[in-house]
Amino acid sequence: MELIKIAGSYIKSVATYAVETWTLREADRMKIEAFEMWIWRRLEKISWRDKITNEDVPKRVDEERSLLNKIWKRKHRWIGHVLRHDSFLQWIFEGRMLGKRTRGRRRMQMLHDLTMNSDYATLKQTAAERMMWRHSRGISRTCSTAED
């Protein structure tokens, strides 16, 4: 049980450093899930030769796959903070920077995975009302907690 607490406090906190600014693609999500399974397998000393599925590993350590959920919550908490204030970062998100567009194909934006179910205007309007934002995103009241 002590190793699980160590993994949660040290390994996951180092692995998710500055996760709020990551742009996650599907390949990145798969790598994060594989990393989380690797952590649990190493802690329990489960070899790949033991033929134990990824669904059975979290059951052995009495944990759930939670790394992607924590990343999602941290990104929403941070983007809600940024969208509520008129700042330089908000200008960047809205694309209000002066100058020429860059050449080539547009890159995947940081807000892309946050706005999959809605558009940017809805996201910004929801973020303007802090309590509604927290309720709709399932975010706790404190800015950062040990379990998040």
- pLDDT, tens only, 54-82: 888 888 877 788 888 888 888 888 888 88
**Amino acid letter for position 83:** L
Q: Measured between alpha carbons, how far is 78 from 143 in angstroms, rounded to an integer?
A: 9
For the chain, give the percent of residues with pLDDT over 90.
Answer: 6
For residue 144, what is the DSSP state?
-
Q: Distance (Å, rounded) from C-alpha 122 to C-alpha 45?
A: 46
Residues 58, 55: Cα–Cα separation, whole Å: 6
Report the 10 Å Cβ neighbour count for 23: 12
**Mean pLDDT of the region 4-33:** 85
Q: Which two tokens stand for residue 88?
A: 């330089």
Q: Which pLDDT tens digit goes with each residue over 109-121?
A: 666 666 666 777 7
Rounded to an integer, the average pLDDT of 29-55 is 88
- Residue 43 near residue 4, CB atoms below 8 Å: yes
Q: How confident is the model at residue 31 (pLDDT cuts 50, 70, 90)?
A: very high
| Euclidean distance between CA atoms 50 and 79, whole angstroms | 42
Confidence of residue 11 (pLDDT cuts 50, 70, 90): confident
pTM above 0.85, yes or no: no
Distances (CA, A) of 148 to 40, 73, 116, 138: 18, 8, 22, 11
Count of residues in the chain: 148
